Structures are given as structure tokens and as C-alpha cells.
């Protein structure tokens, strides 16, 4: 049987289209686009309904699509989007109508939606905010399907938190702090996302804490622990400055403590411990300066403490402890600032302290062990100028040369410096090494003019020539050694000693050049011996001054050394005295003090070196 050409052509076109749809379906199936694959296979099957392989592919695509939509439905239900879950499971049923699981899932989602609607309806009529909050919290994830849930949940939370906070305050008033705190913690947890509720919880928590502190304070006061009670009352007043009960408790406890401290001051006075009496008096005055008990003992206690401090200052002066003498008079002056005798003694002690913290440094003329005269004098002068500069021109130390020292010695034969700086120029040599010479030559072309053979005309030409010259290499080295020593007269020991070295190397090449030959001229550039000696001296000077900066950059370092030695040996009074001088020297030099050294003096005397004031409670 023969078909018309038109019919054959149509059949071929249909076959090509079907193959393309199958290929498209395969590609989408492999990419897990099962819905797209099922659609492509279904269109291809319209042209090939008897193709079993294509039918198998179509069934597989539809079943996989149904599974994918069912999984999406489960995910949507899990996050509370029931409408989306029902839509997805509906697609699953269409893709695989014969699978009973999808019908069961659809029924389950519809039932769940009905349960949520019933819970919401019940919550609308619930009068107990706690129960309403519980019910709505259980269905809170379905608020996308039921927007009303979110609104009613916030209302229920607000009422529930208020009830919890009211119960917490009631429990706090009855002293049930653990139960009260438990309710507050729960209220904090459920109100975390609401700023207004969080503020309400914070205020209630503060109120309950104030009640707890007051309860603790009253118990401690009944046990006569007034300091502990005051601490609790003050904390309560800081938390709630408007809490009248807390403020009243602070005032009454401070008055009671003032009376108690005044009593201890009287006891210490009777035992002739005047410094302890003043320390107790100061604490009593700090609690309530207007208390009659404080005013009654003020004058007597101050006089006793000032007298004791002046006596201690005199004892320290006799022992040569200038720093401790000044500190005790500073304390006496702080106790009785209007006493003219104490003020006069304090000023005298301040002058002594200023002198003690400004050492006299004698810079002796440096000794010369070389044949070069005058170099050591200049080095000593440079050292003197540096130390003058570092000493602030007398602010931190007094720097003397030997002439000034001799003048002072004539006026006061017992006059001695605190430190002596000595130096010796051990070596100062320049060495001229033999010149090294080398003869060299260079050939070059020289343009010349001469007469031709007839002797009538001048012509130009090139003539070969040779330039002979000498290259001279010159070399000079210099060596300098300067030893120094810093001697501590009081300690009778060497505070520092070392040797500084100078080294010099100069090289020069001399060539008599010739421009025509192309030999560059290199003249003699070796400096004169005097200039080289000056350079070597500058090296020694710079290195010596760097050493002086290290050794005496802050002249108070020697006081710190004395302080540390006294502290290590257990001599507390001497350690305090040297610490005072060292710290004052640091202040004068605008250098930071170590906090532990300030604390050392404070703990042993009650004087704050940083602030320059008496800490009465720590008076020793």
C-alpha cells in the first residue's frame, strides 16, 4: 500500500517533535524537575500512546513529582503554613491519585487546621491570661494561616507577665526570694522580644532586689553588724533612689555607725593610741559629721594625733630619714591645718626634702693618659652641660665642676657631693697608613693640525698618544678609649662604670686627571688631622653622653635603689623614707610613678603620695 507524500511528511514531523519532547523530559527528570518532566512526557505520549517505554517514564515522573510535593507539604506544615501544605498535598494527589497516603496526609492537614481554629476560638473566650497564653503558644507557629493568633498571643503575654510580676513582688514582700526570683526569670524569658514588657520586668526585678537587700540589712543590723547592714542599705538606695525606706535605713545606720566609731575612738584615746583614735574619729565623722558624739571628741582627738605625728617626725629627723620626717609633718598638717607651729615645721621639712631629692653631682676634670692635651677637658665640659640639662638647670639636681666645688668647700669644709663623675681619656690616636701607589696609563686619540708636505696648507689629523699617571690610595684610622665612673659618696660604692670607644676610618684616592685622555681628576680630600681628631672626639662624646643618659637620665634612680634595698632588708621606716624621696623626685621630673610604690607608702602610713592627702582610715 502506498501513502501520499503529504501524509508521510506529517508523520515524520510528528515523530521528530515527539523525540524532542522525550529528550526534554529526560533532561528535566535528571535535573529533578519532575513536574516539568511529567508535562513533557505527557505531550509526547499524545503522539505515541502505545509507546510502553514512554508510559513508564511518564508514571515515574508523576510519582516522583507527587513525592516531592508531599515533602514540601510536610515542610510547610512543620513551619505552620497549613494553607501551603494543603496546596502541595493537593498536587501530590493529582500526580498520583492511586496512592492512599496522599489522601491521608490531606485529611491530616485539614484536621490540624480545624484543631488550630478550635484552639483559637477557645482562647478568644478564655479569661485566664496564663491559660490563654499556654493555648496560643501551642499554636503560635500557625500564625501565618491564622494572623489573629499573633495579636491574641501578645495580649495574653502582656496579661500573663503582669500577673507573674505582681506575684513575684508579693512573694518578695513575704521573704520568699527563691520563688520570687523564679517567677521573675520566667517573666524575663517570655517577655524578651517585647521592649515595654522587658522594662516592666526590669523594674519589678529591681523592686524585689531592693526588698531583699532591706531584709538582709535589717537582719544584719539586729546582729549588730552595722557595716554589713549599711552596705545592703546603700546598695538598695542606689538601685532605687526614690525608695524612702532604703534612704531612711542608710541615714539611721550611718548615725549608729558614727556613734560606734566615736566610742572606739574614745577607747583608743584612753589607751594612748592617738593615731588609732584619729582613724576611728575620721570614720565616725565620715558617717555623720554632725553627730554630737563626734563633735564632743573632735578637738581632743585631733590634738593628740597631731602631737603624736610631730613626735614621730622628730624621731625620723634624728635618724636621718628625711622623707619620713616630711611625710609625718604633712600628716600632722592635714590633721590640724591651722596650727602655725606645725605649718612652720612642715615648711622646714619641705626644704630639707627638696634638698634631699636634688643630689649634688660633681663632674671632676677628666684625667688624660694620652699625648693629646685638651681633649679630655672638652669631654668633661660636654658631660657637665648634658647633666645640667637633664637636671633641669638645678630643678632635679645640682651639677658642679671642680671650680664651683672648691668655692663651696672654702665656705663649708664639711661639704660633700652626693655623686662624683670621673673620666679618663685612655687612648686617642690617629694612624696614617703608608700610601699605596699604582702607575697606570691610558692611550687616547688627540686631534692635531699640521702643514701638508708642500708646507702650504694646514690639515687636521689624529695622533695616538699615551697618558701616564699615578693612583694613590690613602688611609687613616683613629682609636679612642674613654673610661668613666659614677661614685655614690653616701653609699660608698660605684654606681656605674664603663668604657666608651671611638673608631675612625677614612680612605681617599688621589688621581691627577687629564681631560683629553678621559682620566677623571680625583683631588686629595683627606681631612686635616685636627678635623679627624675632632670627629673622633665627637664619637667619644656622643657615646659617653648616651651612657650618662642611661646612668643618670633620672637622678632619682639612686633613691629607688636605696628604697628597694631597705625594703628587702625589712627596714620599713627607711624604705618609706626613700620611697617618699623617690616618688617626689619622679613628680618633679614629670615621670609616672609605679602604683605599687604609692600603695606601699599608703598601707604603711595612710598617706597618698599621688594625691598628696591623708587617708585617715589607714593612718598608721
Q: What is the pLDDT of residue 562?
A: 84
- Specify if 476 maps to a domain: yes
Domain edge (last residue) among 551, 569, 594: 551
Both 591 and 442 in a single domain?
no
Q: How far is CA 566 from CA 263, 321, 329, 572, 574, in A?
A: 38, 12, 22, 7, 6
Summary count for the chain: helices (H), strands (E): 21, 8
Both 91 and 211 in a single domain?
no
- Specify if 87 maps to a domain: yes
Give the three-state DSSP class for 496: strand
Q: How far is CA 65 from CA 32, 92, 111, 163, 253, in A?
A: 9, 7, 24, 52, 80
Q: What is the DSSP string of 132-143?
A: HHHHHHHTGGGT
Question: Alpha helices of 48-99 — where are they, by DSSP H?
Answer: 52-78, 82-95
What is d(CA 375, CA 502) in angstroms, rounded to the nearest whole number? 13
85: domain CATH number is 1.25.40
Both 428 and 575 in a single domain?
no
For 489, counting Cβ atoms within 10 Å of its Cβ (0-12 exposed, 13-18 middle, 19+ buried), the class is middle
> What is the DSSP code (8-state) at residue 476?
E
Tell me phi and psi for residue 373, to 5 degrees. -80, 140
Q: What is the pLDDT of residue 11?
A: 41
Q: What are the residues facing 368 on neighbouring strands? A: 425
Q: What are the residues facing 360 on neighbouring strands? A: 398
Q: What are the residues facing 363 on neighbouring strands? A: 401, 421
Taking residue 128's Cβ as centre, other Cβ atoms within 10 Å add up to 13
Tell me phi and psi for residue 428, to 5 degrees. -155, 90
State which residues form the domain around 154.
Answer: 137-233
Q: What is the pLDDT of residue 571?
A: 93
Q: What is the pLDDT of residue 14?
A: 45
Tell me phi and psi for residue 275, to 5 degrees. -70, -40
Q: What is the pLDDT of residue 499?
A: 92
What is d(CA 198, CA 246) in angstroms, rounded to the nearest whole number? 25
- Specify if 16 maps to a domain: yes
Domain edge (last residue) among 233, 258, 291: 233
CA-wise closest residue to 169 among 212, 199, 232: 212
What is d(CA 133, CA 136) in angstroms, rounded to the nearest whole number? 5
Strands 367-368 and 419-451, sheet pairing: parallel
User: Which regions of 294-451 does DSSP assign to beta strands (E)?
Assistant: 360-363, 367-368, 398-401, 419-451
Q: What are the residues facing 501 on neighbouring strands? A: 481
Beta-carbon contacts of residue 510 (< 8 Å; ≥ 6 apart) = 471, 472, 473, 474, 522, 523, 524
Q: What is the pTM of this model?
A: 0.56
Both 479 and 567 in a single domain?
no
Give the three-state DSSP class for 463: strand
- Specify if 314 maps to a domain: no
Instruction: Evaluate whether 268 touches 281 at the Cβ level (below 8 Å).
Output: no
Give the three-state DSSP class for 420: strand
pLDDT digits (tens, 9 = 90+) for 32-82: 888 888 888 888 888 888 788 888 888 888 888 888 888 888 888 888 788
- Specify if 255 maps to a domain: no
Q: What is the pLDDT of residue 19?
A: 81
Q: How far is CA 84 from CA 36, 145, 362, 599, in A?
A: 20, 9, 98, 73
Both 367 and 229 in a single domain?
no
Q: How far is CA 467 from CA 440, 463, 514, in A?
A: 8, 13, 8
Both 111 and 210 in a single domain?
no
Both 585 and 517 in a single domain?
no
Where residue 524 falls (left for φ over 0; alpha for ψ -120 to 50; beta otherwise) is beta
What is d(CA 156, CA 480) in angstroms, rounded to the nearest whole number? 94
Strands 493-511 and 398-401, sheet pairing: unpaired
pLDDT digits (tens, 9 = 90+) for 247-293: 999 999 999 998 899 899 999 888 889 989 999 989 988 888 888 88
Beta-carbon contacts of residue 4 (< 8 Å; ≥ 6 apart) = none
Beta-carbon contacts of residue 278 (< 8 Å; ≥ 6 apart) = 265, 301, 302, 304, 305, 335, 616, 619
Both 98 and 204 in a single domain?
no
Q: What is the DSSP string of 505-528?
A: EEEEEEE--BTTTTBPPB---PPP
Q: What is the pLDDT of residue 5?
A: 37
Indicate the Cα dihedral angle 580, 584, 589, 590, nearest 10°: 110
Q: What angle do CA 550, 551, 554 make, to 5 degrees?
A: 85
Q: What is the pLDDT of residue 173?
A: 78
Where residue 400 falls (left for φ over 0; alpha for ψ -120 to 50; beta otherwise) is beta
Tell me phi and psi for residue 247, to 5 degrees. -60, -45
What is the helix (H) or strand (E) element at residue 503, kind and residue range? strand 493-511
What is d(CA 243, CA 234) in angstroms, rounded to the nearest whole number? 11
Mean pLDDT estimate for the chain: 84
Both 521 and 588 in a single domain?
no
Residue located via cell numbers 484543631: 115
- Specify if 577 maps to a domain: yes
Domain edge (last residue) among 181, 208, 233: 233
Both 545 and 569 in a single domain?
no
Q: What is the pLDDT of residue 10?
A: 38
Low-confidence ranges of the chain (pLDDT < 70): 1-17, 393, 450-455, 552-556
CA quadruple 572, 573, 577, 583: dihedral sign: positive
pLDDT digits (tens, 9 = 90+) for 443-469: 888 887 766 666 677 777 787 888 888
> What is the DSSP code (8-state) at residue 366?
P
3-state helix, strand, coil split of the chain in percent (to 5) is: 65, 15, 20
Both 174 and 154 in a single domain?
yes
Q: What is the pLDDT of residue 349?
A: 92
Beta-carbon contacts of residue 50 (< 8 Å; ≥ 6 apart) = none
| Count of structural domains, the chain | 4
Q: What angle do CA 539, 477, 366 make, to 5 degrees?
A: 40
pLDDT digits (tens, 9 = 90+) for 173-211: 777 878 888 888 888 887 777 777 778 788 888 888 888
Give the three-state DSSP class for 358: coil
Instruction: Evaluate whether 53 touches 88 at the Cβ level (below 8 Å).
Output: no
Beta-carbon contacts of residue 121 (< 8 Å; ≥ 6 apart) = none
Both 469 and 592 in a single domain?
no
- Specify if 78 maps to a domain: yes
CA-wise closest residue to 576 among 567, 586, 587, 565: 567
Q: How far is CA 415 from CA 388, 395, 405, 591, in A?
A: 20, 20, 9, 30
- Specify if 209 maps to a domain: yes
Amino acid at each position: 500500500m502506498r501513502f501520499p507524500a503529504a501524509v508521510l511528511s506529517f508523520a515524520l514531523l510528528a515523530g521528530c517533535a515527539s523525540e524532542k519532547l522525550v529528550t526534554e523530559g529526560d533532561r528535566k527528570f535528571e535535573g529533578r524537575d519532575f513536574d516539568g518532566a511529567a508535562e513533557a512526557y505527557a505531550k509526547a505520549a499524545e503522539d505515541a500512546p502505545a509507546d510502553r517505554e514512554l508510559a513508564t517514564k511518564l508514571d515515574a515522573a508523576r510519582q516522583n513529582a507527587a513525592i516531592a510535593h508531599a515533602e514540601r507539604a510536610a515542610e510547610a506544615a512543620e513551619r505552620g503554613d497549613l494553607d501551603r501544605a494543603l496546596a502541595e498535598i493537593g498536587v501530590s494527589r493529582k500526580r498520583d491519585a492511586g496512592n492512599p497516603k496522599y489522601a491521608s496526609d490531606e485529611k491530616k492537614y485539614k484536621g490540624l487546621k480545624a484543631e488550630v481554629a478550635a484552639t483559637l476560638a477557645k482562647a478568644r473566650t478564655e479569661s485566664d491570661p496564663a491559660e490563654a497564653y499556654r493555648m496560643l503558644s501551642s499554636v503560635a507557629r500557625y500564625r501565618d494561616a491564622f494572623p489573629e493568633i499573633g495579636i491574641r498571643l501578645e495580649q495574653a503575654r502582656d496579661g500573663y507577665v503582669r500577673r507573674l510580676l505582681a506575684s513575684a513582688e508579693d512573694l518578695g514582700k513575704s521573704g520568699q526570694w527563691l520563688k520570687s526570683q523564679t517567677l521573675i526569670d520566667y517573666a524575663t524569658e517570655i517577655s524578651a522580644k517585647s521592649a515595654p514588657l522587658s522594662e516592666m520586668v526590669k523594674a519589678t526585678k529591681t523592686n524585689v532586689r531592693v526588698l531583699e537587700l532591706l531584709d538582709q540589712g535589717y537582719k544584719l543590723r539586729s546582729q549588730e553588724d552595722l557595716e554589713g547592714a549599711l552596705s545592703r542599705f546603700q546598695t538598695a538606695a542606689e538601685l532605687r533612689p526614690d525608695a524612702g525606706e532604703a534612704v531612711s535605713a542608710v541615714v539611721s545606720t550611718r548615725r549608729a555607725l558614727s556613734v560606734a566609731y566615736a566610742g572606739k575612738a574614745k577607747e583608743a584615746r584612753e589607751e594612748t593610741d592617738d593615731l588609732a583614735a584619729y582613724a576611728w574619729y575620721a570614720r565616725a565623722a565620715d558617717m555623720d559629721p554632725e553627730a554630737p558624739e563626734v563633735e564632743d571628741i573632735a578637738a581632743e582627738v585631733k590634738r593628740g594625733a597631731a602631737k603624736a605625728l610631730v613626735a614621730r617626725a622628730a624621731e625620723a629627723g634624728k635618724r636621718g630619714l628625711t622623707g619620713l620626717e616630711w611625710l609625718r609633718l604633712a600628716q600632722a598638717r592635714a590633721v590640724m591645718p591651722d596650727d602655725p607651729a606645725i605649718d612652720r615645721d612642715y615648711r622646714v621639712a619641705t626644704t630639707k626634702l627638696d634638698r634631699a631629692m636634688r643630689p649634688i653631682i660633681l663632674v671632676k676634670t677628666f684625667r688624660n693618659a694620652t699625648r693629646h692635651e685638651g681633649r679630655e677637658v672638652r669631654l668633661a665640659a660636654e658631660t657637665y652641660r648634658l647633666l645640667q640639662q637633664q637636671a633641669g638647670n638645678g630643678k632635679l639636681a645640682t651639677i658642679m665642676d671642680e671650680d664651683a666645688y672648691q668655692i663651696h668647700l672654702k665656705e663649708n669644709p664639711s661639704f660633700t657631693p652626693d655623686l662624683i663623675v670621673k673620666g679618663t681619656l685612655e687612648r686617642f690616636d690617629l694612624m696614617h697608613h703608608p700610601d699605596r701607589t699604582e702607575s697606570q696609563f691610558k692611550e687616547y686619540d688627540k686631534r692635531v693640525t699640521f702643514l701638508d708636505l708642500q708646507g702650504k696648507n694646514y690639515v687636521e689629523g689624529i695622533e695616538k698618544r699615551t697618558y701616564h699617571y699615578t693612583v694613590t690610595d690613602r688611609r687613616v684610622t683613629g682609636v679612642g678609649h674613654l673610661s668613666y665612673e659614677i661614685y655614690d659618696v653616701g653609699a660608698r660604692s660605684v654606681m656605674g662604670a664603663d668604657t666608651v670607644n671611638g673608631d675612625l676610618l677614612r680612605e681617599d684616592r688621589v688621581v691627577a686627571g687629564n681631560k683629553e685622555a678621559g682620566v677623571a681628576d680625583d683631588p686629595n680630600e683627606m681631612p686635616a688631622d685636627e678635623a679627624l681628631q675632632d670627629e673622633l672626639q665627637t664619637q667619644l662624646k656622643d657615646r659617653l653622653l648616651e651612657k650618662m643618659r642611661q646612668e643618670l637620665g633620672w637622678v632619682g634612680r639612686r633613691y629607688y635603689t636605696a628604697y628597694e634595698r631597705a625594703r628587702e632588708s625589712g627596714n620599713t621606716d627607711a624604705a618609706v623614707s626613700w620611697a617618699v624621696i623617690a616618688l617626689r623626685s619622679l613628680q618633679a621630673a614629670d615621670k609616672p610613678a609605679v602604683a605599687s610604690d604609692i600603695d606601699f607608702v599608703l598601707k604603711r602610713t595612710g598617706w597618698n603620695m599621688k594625691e598628696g592627702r591623708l587617708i585617715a582610715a589607714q593612718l598608721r
